[in-house]
Amino acid sequence: MFEETRVRFAHVTDRAFLNLEGLLESALKQFSPTPSEGNKRGIYVLYEDDQPVYVGRTKNLEQRFRAHITPNHNSASYALKRVRKRLGRKPTYVKEGSRSWIVENYWNEFIQEIEAIKRMTYRFIEVSDNIDQYFLEYLAEAHLGLDHDGLDTS
């Protein structure tokens, strides 16, 4: 009954494993707001002190890297996530604890995290297909032992 779907799904997962191999074998580069890959679509892994800390999916790597280091609560979501973790605060939809509240009340910590991101290194693989990106993002997080909290829906 599901054989055709199983075959299609197997092709997607096979590509995900091949892409994971390509991602992890790609050159480790210094984080830059103007990465050599330019505006390519794909998956990247950020490393801090040679340890993987974040897997990201993007439609435009250069634009995403610039956003990571723009001191604005709507742009620098990974820096904000790191501040939340430092403070032990979960995301909320009320004013206290919101993105803007965190930045207003913990500006120095927010800037420290942006500066930490600027010192990171990264690996990148170009992946154009959205489904392939989703599968690779999840597979990379699982393989590297990172949180899958981007899949949470509250």
Cβ neighbour number for residue 110 with a 10 Å cutoff: 21
As a whole number of angstroms, the distance between CA 84 and CA 127 comes to 30
pLDDT at 93: 80
| Tokens read off for 95 | 């004013």
Counting as low any pLDDT under 70, the low residues of the chain are: 149-154
Cα-to-chain-centroid distance, residue 69: 13
pLDDT at 154: 44
**98 Cβ contact partners less than 8 Å away, ≥ 6 residues apart:** 92
Cα-to-chain-centroid distance, residue 95: 25
**86 Cβ contact partners less than 8 Å away, ≥ 6 residues apart:** 109, 113
Residue ranges of domains in the chain: 3-147
pLDDT at 97: 81
pTM to 2 decimals?
A: 0.91
Q: What is the CATH number of domain 3-147?
A: 3.40.1440.10
pLDDT at 152: 54
| Tokens read off for 106 | 């913990």
